[in-house]
């Protein structure tokens, strides 16, 4: 990952800062950071994969078939494990098996999308809250996740899962190990879904040896299917996509999630960053779905996306799709992104990423200074 530099100027302006960037302060109420986790150490190195293999399944409107010279097939349980000397060693997932896994999950994702498409216009959705009024779940989130996990677990019984609604139930975020692991958000943008706003999607990624190998983000309401295989590009409905090559903030359309300002403890941080973005960017958008926002960076529709208050299932698929579209995803501090605890700056190029990191740090320094002044005055 590209490392951001700690410069103190931005486009000739003095934006010196000396206060630390605020760490994620939000308590999602989903898991305890100190929870004991099962560590399964593996020795798995996935081989390279090649271009997409499509079959005659009904795909979204505008979806184009692509030629493919690879084969599928093979038995179930891809990425199986064998006990060796009391430890678990994961077998290599070869090219054919990755292709077979991809074909299977692609069809499953599209099939599961029918549940969302048929339900999004309904006004009688059953809604529950999780961490707060801003964190919603419907019966359809649970239904779609169950369809995905039950089917994948049957087809690949030795794979692991990190799913939003499963974690919400168990209140424990599993360790991301070397094992083949599915990272699933059954409905990203649940609030949008509740309001019948068609910016919602299924997000599903496969990690092997802690590296993202497959990513699919599917918005069934708008029939947008974003896909990526590691090393072989990103696609929207079968057509290649690329990130924008705009490198300056003044000409960039930026997206950030302002809804987290509802949380009092971080409201000033979120609004401080919004103010900084508004004063310099060409335009600002907030869309309510991290996965789709990342994909819009990948397709070049927006130049950058930022949010700290995310979870692995919000970003895993979108991160791979951006990377395969030629973009960069880094931590808000400018370092390497941690998928298991993501604080995201996603951009089309490294220069824009560095500038956004500096802008965020400058905004946070001003916010911390205001906090200090208010505290001193009381």
Annotated binding-site residue? 188: yes
Residue 336 contacts residue 8 (beta carbons within 8 Å): no
* CA nearest to 113, candidates 10, 11, 193, 205: 193
Catalytic entry in 164, 268, 303, 331 = 164
248 marked as part of a ligand binding site? no
In the residue annotation, 331 being an active-site residue is answered as no
Q: Which of 166, 177, 190, 332 is catalytic?
A: 190
What does the block give as tokens for 42? 């593996």
Tell me whether residue 191 is one of the annotated catalytic residues.
Answer: no
Residue of 188, 257, 331, 355 with catalytic role? 188
- Cα separation values, 70 from 73, 93, 298, Å: 10, 15, 26
Would you say the C-alpha torsion 340, 345, 351, 354 has a positive or negative sign? negative
187 marked as binding residue: yes
The reply to whether 185 sits in an annotated binding site is yes
Report the distance separating Cα 291 and Cα 32, nearest Å. 24
DSSP assignment letter at 336 = B
- Per the rule left: phi > 0, alpha: psi between -120 and 50, beta: everything else, 296 is alpha
Given the residues 110, 183, 187, 330, the one annotated as active site:
187
Active site includes 190? yes
CB 112, CB 202: distance < 8 Å: yes
Q: Nearest CA to 55 among 98, 106, 91?
A: 106
Query: CA 365 → CA 9, 180, 218, 259, 269, distances in Å?
Result: 14, 40, 38, 21, 10
Distance CA 255, CA 349 (A): 15
Residue 314 bears catalytic tag:
yes
Q: Is 332 a catalytic residue?
A: no
- DSSP code, position 130: S
- Reading phi first (left if > 0) and then psi (alpha if -120 to 50, else beta), residue 86 is in left
Q: Is 94 annotated as a binding residue?
A: no
8 A C-beta contact, residue 214 and residue 205: yes
Give the integer Cα–Cα distance in Å for 120 and 217: 17
Active site residue 133: no
- The Cβ of residue 99 has, within 10 Å, a number of other Cβ atoms equal to 22
Residues identified as active-site: 164, 185, 187-188, 190, 314
Q: Which residues are annotated as a binding site for Mg(2+)?
A: 164, 185, 187-188, 314
């Amino acid at each position: 990952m590209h490392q951001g530099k700690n410069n103190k100027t931005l486009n000739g302006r003095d934006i010196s800062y000396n206060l630390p960037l605020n760490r994620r302060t939000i308590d999602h109420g989903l898991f305890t950071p100190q929870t004991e986790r099962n560590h399964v150490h593996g020795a798995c190195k996935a081989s390279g994969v090649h271009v997409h293999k499509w079959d005659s399944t009904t795909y979204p409107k505008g979806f184009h078939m692509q030629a493919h010279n690879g084969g599928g097939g093979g038995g179930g349980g891809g990425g199986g494990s064998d006990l060796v000397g009391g430890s678990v060693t994961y077998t290599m997932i070869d090219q054919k098996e990755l292709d077979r896994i991809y074909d299977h999950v692609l069809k499953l994702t599209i099939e599961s999308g029918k549940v969302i498409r048929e339900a999004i216009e309904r006004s009688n959705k059953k809604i529950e809250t999780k961490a707060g009024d801003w964190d919603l779940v419907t019966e359809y989130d649970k239904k779609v996740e169950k369809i995905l996990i039950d089917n994948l677990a049957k087809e690949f019984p030795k794979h692991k899962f990190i799913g939003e609604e499963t974690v919400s139930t168990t209140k424990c975020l599993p360790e991301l190990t070397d094992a083949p692991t599915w990272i699933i958000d059954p409905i990203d943008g649940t609030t949008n879904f509740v309001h019948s706003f068609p910016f919602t999607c299924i997000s599903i990624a496969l990690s092997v040896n802690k590296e993202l190998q497959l990513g699919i983000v599917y918005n069934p309401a708008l029939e947008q299917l974003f896909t990526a295989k590691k090393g072989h590009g990103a696609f929207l409905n079968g057509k290649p996509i690329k990130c924008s090559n705009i490198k300056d903030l003044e000409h960039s359309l930026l997206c950030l999630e302002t809804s987290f300002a509802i949380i009092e403890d971080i409201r000033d941080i979120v609004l401080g960053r919004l103010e900084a973005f508004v004063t310099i960017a060409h335009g600002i958008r907030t869309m309510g779905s991290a996965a789709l926002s990342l994909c819009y960076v990948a397709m070049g529709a927006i130049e950058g996306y930022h949010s700290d208050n995310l979870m692995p299932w919000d970003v895993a698929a979108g991160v791979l799709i951006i990377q395969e579209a030629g973009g960069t995803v880094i931590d808000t501090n400018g370092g390497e992104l941690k998928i298991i605890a993501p604080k995201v700056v996603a951009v089309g190029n490294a220069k824009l990423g560095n500038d956004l990191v500096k802008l965020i740090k400058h905004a946070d320094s001003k916010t911390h200074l205001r906090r200090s002044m208010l505290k001193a005055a009381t």
